[in-house]
Structure 1
Amino acid sequence: MSDTPTLRRPLIIAAIMAAMAMIAIEATIVSTAMPQIAAQLGDLHLYSWVFSSFLLTQTAMTVAFGKLADLYGRRPILLLGIAIFLVGSVLCGLAWSMPSLIAFRLIQGVGAGAIQPVAITVVGDLYSVEERGKVQGWLASIWGISSVIGPLAGGLIIQHASWAWVFWINVPIGLAAGLGFVAFLHEDVAHRTRKVDALGATLFAIAVAALMVALTEVGNSTFAAVAALVVALVAGTGFFVQERIADDPMMDLKLWARRSIATANAATLLSGMTIIGLTTFLPMYVQGVLGQSPLVAGFTLTAMVFGWPIGATIAARNFKRFGLRPILLFGATLLPFGAAVFLFLRAGYPPQVAAAGSVVIGFGMGFLSNAAIVIVQSAVGWNERGAATSSNIFARNLGSTLGATALGAVFNLSLASGGAGGRAVDFDSIQKLLEGTGGTITDAGTQAALAHSLHLTFWAMFIVSALTLVAALFVPVATPAAKSAPEDAPAEALPIVEA
């Protein structure tokens, strides 16, 4: 695609931005609406699965779809990903129960796993290294814009329409992106013989899904939790064996064995757990405990997502001045400072307090995530840089997947054990409380139990954020492993500034 006419490239980028906007807006719009969705569908103990199921399939399929794009071209995989994502979105809006919503979110995640990596690859195909900085700025702006539009749209939809439109709003955006790719993205694909590690991806998905089930069933069914844990261990062992013997593995274990990559990815994984905890449970706290509307709850989360690209931009401009490791450590230090704010939240506090903690965490993630990617890239030569970058994105997605489930288990266990009063809390009571947010709180005991459970969940999130800082301390000073690529080498698709 290097010969793509200059006049057509902006139109392709517009299609890419539309496709990625669907994924970016999902984080805030679904988080804003989920307390009301859970109140209507029931099965509140499965709340965190709505987030982790999406992340599970997105994480498992990212590498596989990237390799399929090498085999069959970018456009077919992008169109396939958009189609799958839109089918999942329509089905999510038609969900009749929490398990059905979770199943349809799995489908959405598969589509997202195709859209995000292949869209970034197209940018690398179209633009040289010198041109890509400006394009990356456009793509990063999507997350900032979505952080504002998402909560606003989610709050308005919940207040004035059916929650199904939280998912159906993706349909016109996805159709516009698909038409843009059909009209403007023309390829002359040179087919390459390359195996896709389908077995590795399958074993990974089974292992993570089983671990999620084990964490979810803790406190509900000991037998189910133990059985799921056994399945997770067996599938996990099989996955690592497969990755050692596969000709073209889903995860290059030798790459992960390098200290710079292993430590930076460890910090990234833990930061992903922190962020998903905030994204999943802050809207519930603001609505159920502080008694605010979904719109207000969404904007407390917006502060985090809005601060992320700003922090990433500031970090990128100061790499040469301060160095990569100090920037990483600064971002990792901001995470526990921001998470500590939620330890002091109480009923009656203004939502601005929650927003303050969110914005600090957002800035921290901007510094940490940007520095971590560059550190990982600096640890390898040019011919391994794409795989190294993918490993960092994979680590963050995996952290989000595990974090949603682990922190969800903390929340469920606290409610089941009786919360602050030592009496088990009925999930139906929590649902009624969430249905009445923004109005008069009639059940002070239920509100107190919800506040206590979420407070313990915020403590778990704070501990994970502190561990992020510990992992960052072990990251060595980044030293380039190889000189830059030759001038005639293909441009590599590297999301240096990502939110």
Structure 2
Amino acid sequence: MTENIQHQVAHRRWILFAAMLAMFMAAIEVTIVATAMPTIIAELGGFSQFGWVFSIYLLTQAVSVPIYGRLADLWGRKRVFFIGTSLFLLGSILCGFATNMGWLILFRAFQGLGAGAIMPLTSTIVADIYAPKERAGIQGWLSSVWGIAAIIGPLTGAWIVQHFSWALIFWVNVPIGIISMVMLARWLPDIKPQHQHRLDLGGSFWLMICISSLLVALLQAEALGYWSLLFLALALISGYALVRHEKQAKEPLFPLAIWRSRVIVAGNAGNLVIGAAMMGISAFLPTWIQGVNGGTPLQAGSALAMMSIGWPLASTLSGRLMLRTSYRFTAQLGALLLIAGTALLLTLQRDSSLIHAGCAAFVIGTGMGMTSTTFLVSVQNSAEFHIRGICTASIMFSRMLGSALGTALMGAVLNYNLMLRLPEQYDPVQQIMSEGERQALQHETLQQMITQVAASLHWVFVASLLIAALSMVIARAMPPRRPE
């Protein structure tokens, strides 16, 4: 029965619309908050804790994603989705009432715990109600939500803080989330597993310790200094304990079928690479435009938006391409575009136009959209119903982990190059990006700093290109057949 649910569900379009609403709610949260943060800091204070507003959200989301994925397989998608979405909406309401930065960080943690359910479960629900041959095109629609959110989010956030209280950027989630929950309550069948299962609490505990320690070490490496080594050691120890526990558990958090499937392992590896390569553009292309080219934040955001436009377009196209060719061909084409886009970043010069940077971002976005959709669809079509939730969640988690690893790796590459090239300058990137500090520098000093920062960023783009090249290797592990 569960394997053929897609043939029994009526109102599939309304279920898809509800899933897209929920995904939009979680996707827009990142961009809309980033735009409003200067206003929030001006009112609440606590600029030194600024980074934790974003880090804690990512941390709790990443920790909870695999657990929600497994719970969805054990308890049913509908029940777990409602739990996660309710937690997300509660956190959103509380964020609007925060009176200082400490409370805001705590409530953002609640939001992240809820968001950990929304992303994997919306994709899993859609995969459940559509046949394997239809999933390729439908997942492209879900991916388009991210592109729309990336464009609407900053504009909406700026408009809200200009005309209303900043609390509204959090409360706007509430009606969207309620509408999505009501629609799914009305039309989504409550398919429960045929046998009673229990969550692997021991595995969940070691997973949370491992992921939390690793992400804190990566995301807060600069602030922690050598203390980050302690968190890395804790991540290694808890990771070893997790592997050992999973081998002995009767019902492991990560079923053995996941690790025995070449397609599922390759899909996770591919998303890890995509997440890491993405940070080469998301984190450092704006630095190039503002610091090296002397552009404005609006120009940097416009160039980066091109990636958000290319991603959903390629995701939609990849669904049709998979049906005409194969998983492998589509993944390899996406990998080729990703490599070409990151190679274009290496051609940036100090006098390069904004169009040049935007074209590179667009090509990278198309490559990421095509590869990520192919990896996700291939994994979902390879996974049986009773493990589809954890398999989908593992894909989402792999991309988050890749983003954290990519940020740490490329940040280290940049800092190492700056230390070699500008040893006498303290935080040269900040100096050339801040308008006040930039104008205070002597002309010769400024030109030298820009030249050396540009050379350092080129090495970051080299690292991004090498990571992107791995996607071609992984793409070869995709099945040489079409979705059936």
Give TM class, smaller chain: 0.7 to 0.9
Shift of 1:273: 1.2
Give 1:78 deviation, angstroms.
Answer: 2.3
| Alpha-carbon distance between aligned partners in 2 of 1:70 and 1:379, rounded to the nearest angstrom | 15
CA 1:205–1:343: 2 relative to 1, 3 Å: farther
Distance, in Å, in 2 between the alignment partners of 1:300 and 1:19 is: 27
**Structure 1 pair 475/94, CA: closer, same or farther in 2 (3 Å)?**
same
Q: Select the residue among 37, 43, 50 that pairs with 2:48.
A: 43
Higher helix share: 2
Instruction: Give the AA of the match of 2:463.
Output: I
- Cα deviations by residue, 1:164-212 (Å, 9 ceiling, x for unpaired): 5544432332233234345555647567411213332332232233233
Q: Deviations over 1:20-69 (max 9, x none)?
A: 1112223444455668878975338x74x655543333333223223333
What is the match of residue 317 of structure 1?
Answer: 320
Which residue of structure 1 aligns with residue 87 of structure 2?
84
Q: Percent identity?
A: 36
Task: Provide the aligned length of Structure 1 versus Structure 2.
Answer: 475
| Matched ranges for 1:125-144 at <5 A | 125-128=128-131, 135-144=138-147
Measured after TM superposition, the shift of residue 331 of structure 1 is 1.9
The 2-side partners of 1:285 and 1:240 are apart by 41
Aligned CA distance change for structure 1 residues 409 and 85 (closer, same or farther; 3 Å): farther
Secondary structure, aligned partner of 2:339: helix
Structure 1 residue 442 corresponds to structure 2 residue 444: no
The CA distance in 2 between the partners of 1:333 and 1:465, in whole Å, is: 11
Residues 255 and 387, structure 2, Cα contact 8 Å, conserved in 1: no
Measured in 2, the distance between the counterparts of 1:20 and 1:110 equals 15
What's the counterpart of residue 496 of structure 1?
A: none
- The letter of the residue matching 1:424 is Y
**Counterpart secondary structure, 1:354:** helix
> Against the structure 1 CA distance between its residues 148 and 447, is the aligned structure 2 distance closer, same or farther, given a 3 Å change threshold?
farther
SS at the partner of 2:439?
coil
Q: Which residue of 1 aligns with 2:199?
A: 196
Superposition deviation, residue 365 in structure 1: 0.8
2:426 match: secondary structure: coil
> How many angstroms apart in 2 are the aligned matches of 1:378 and 1:185?
20
Q: Residue 493 of structure 1 corresponds to which residue in structure 2?
A: none
Residues 411/393 of structure 1: CA separation in 2 closer, same or farther (3 Å cut): same
- Identify the residue that residue 229 of structure 2 maps to in structure 1: 226
* Structure 1 SS opposite 2:425: coil
Query: TM-score w.r.t. structure 1 length?
Result: 0.76
One-letter identity of the residue aligned with 2:268: N
The CA deviation at 1:364 is 0.7
For residues 65-464 of structure 1, the aligned pairs below 5 Å read 65-92=68-95, 103-128=106-131, 135-157=138-160, 165-182=168-185, 184-185=187-188, 187=190, 192-215=195-218, 218=221, 223-252=226-255, 255-256=258-259, 258-283=261-286, 285-286=288-289, 290=293, 292-319=295-322, 322-345=325-348, 349-376=352-379, 388-408=391-411, 417=419, 420=422, 422-425=424-427, 442-444=439-441, 456=456, 459-460=459-460, 462-464=462-464
- What is the letter of the counterpart of residue 423 of structure 1? Q
1:468 aligned residue: 468
Are the equivalent residues in 1 in contact too, given 2:57–2:108 (CA < 8 A)? yes
- Taking structure 1 as reference, are residues 442 and 198 closer, same or farther at Cα in structure 2, changes over 3 Å only? farther
Q: TM-score, normalised by structure 2?
A: 0.78
Q: CA deviation at 1:361?
A: 0.6
Change (3 A) 1:147 1:471: closer
SS of 1:250's partner is coil
Offset at residue 10 of structure 1 (A): 4.2
- How many Å apart are 1:2 and its aligned residue? 7.5
How far residue 224 of structure 1 moved from its aligned partner, in angstroms, is 1.0
Does the 8 Å CA contact 1:286/1:292 hold for their aligned counterparts? Answer: yes
Q: How big is each residue's C-alpha offset from its partner over 1:90-146, in whole Å with a ceiling of 9 and x where there is no partner?
A: 455566777766554433222111112222333345455566666545434323322
Q: Deviations over 1:383-435 (max 9, x none)?
A: 766655544333223212333444455566777x59746222399x66x966x
**Judging changes above 3 Å, is the alpha-carbon distance between structure 1 residues 88 and 237 closer, same or farther for their aligned structure 2 residues?**
same
Tell me whether 330-339 or 119-128 shows the greater mean CA deviation.
Answer: 119-128
- Asked if the contact 2:350–2:454 (Cα under 8 Å) also holds between the matched residues in 1, the reply is no
Inter-partner Cα distance in structure 2 for 1:285 and 1:34: 22
Letter in 2 for 1:43: S
| Cα deviation, residue 307, structure 1 | 0.8
Q: Given the superposition, is the C-alpha separation of residues 316 and 135 from structure 1 closer, same or farther in structure 2, using an over 3 Å criterion?
A: closer
Q: Which blocks of at least 5 consecutive residues in structure 1 are unaligned?
A: 485-499
Q: Say whether 1:61 aligns with 2:64.
A: yes
Opposite residue 470 of structure 2, the aligned amino acid is V
